[in-house]
Structure 1
Amino acid sequence: MTDTLDDKTRTELEAAVYRRLVEHLRTRTDVQNIDLMNLAGFCRNCLSNWMKDAADAKGLPMTKDESREIVYGEPYDQWRAKHQKEATPEQKAAFQKSSTGH
């Protein structure tokens, strides 16, 4: 199937998947970033960093705060105040054990 997709269509599908993933993560505020890092090796901050990297590669001006707002749907500090919890000792230990350098 992917062999029959032209580049424009493939990019549109990938963009739709990305938007759906971001929307899903916005609704799952119960899932903490450390949980995502421990299980999947990436989190919302990684997504926002990848967004900024892509903008930088295209020569588009984007700050870290702007890329985080794209992913979080609101300013990062505001999201943190509403949803981020202190990591448990178990979560921190798991992160140290599986840390990928993020």
Structure 2
Amino acid sequence: MTDTPAPTPAPLSGDARIRAEAAAFRRLRAHLLEARPDVQNIDLMILAGFCRNCLADWYGDALRAEGVDLDKAAAREAFYGMPFDAWKAQHQREATPEQQAAFAASQRAHAG
């Protein structure tokens, strides 16, 4: 008996792909903001190399590419659903020395 690989699905195109990507983004955003606000941005940066702020900045970049005129703070407010400083005050803690060291090490590991 041979292992037969699973058929490769046809790539999505057009509106279906855009809707799927948008839905995945909304689900990731909800997960990070609503289901797991306890996970600190610095820990996301250490483990994944991006955090909620990165997503908010990428969201802002995408909006500006569509002709929406907004600055970084406005993009973050649109992403977080409130001013970033308010979200940060509610959910973020000061980074520990251990987190800062792990972040620095992760940056060195990816720098080249």
| TM-score, with length taken from structure 2 | 0.81
Figure out how many residues of one structure are paired with residues of the other and give that number. Answer: 100
Q: What residue is the counterpart of 2:57 in the other structure? A: 49
Gaps of 5+ in 2: 1-8
Q: Aligned equivalents of 1:59 and 1:89: distance in 2? A: 41
Q: What residue is the counterpart of 1:12 in the other structure? A: 19
Partner SS, residue 95 of structure 2: coil
**Larger RCO, structures 1/2 (Cα 8 Å, 6+ apart):** 1
CA 1:95 to 1:31, structure 2 compared with 1: closer, same or farther past 3 Å? same
Gaps of 5+ in 1: none
- 8 Å contact from structure 1 (residues 35, 91) kept in 2: yes
- RMSD over equivalenced CA pairs, Å: 1.5
Q: Which structure 1 residue ranges, 4+ long, deviate > 4 Å from structure 2?
A: none
- 8 Å contact from structure 1 (residues 45, 68) kept in 2: yes
Q: What residue is the counterpart of 1:35 in the other structure? A: 43
Higher helix content, 1 or 2: 1
- 8 Å contact from structure 1 (residues 26, 73) kept in 2: no
Q: What residue is the counterpart of 2:89 in the other structure? A: 81
Report % sequence identity. Answer: 54
State the Cα distance separating 1:2 from its structure 2 match: 4.3
| TM-score, with length taken from structure 1 | 0.88
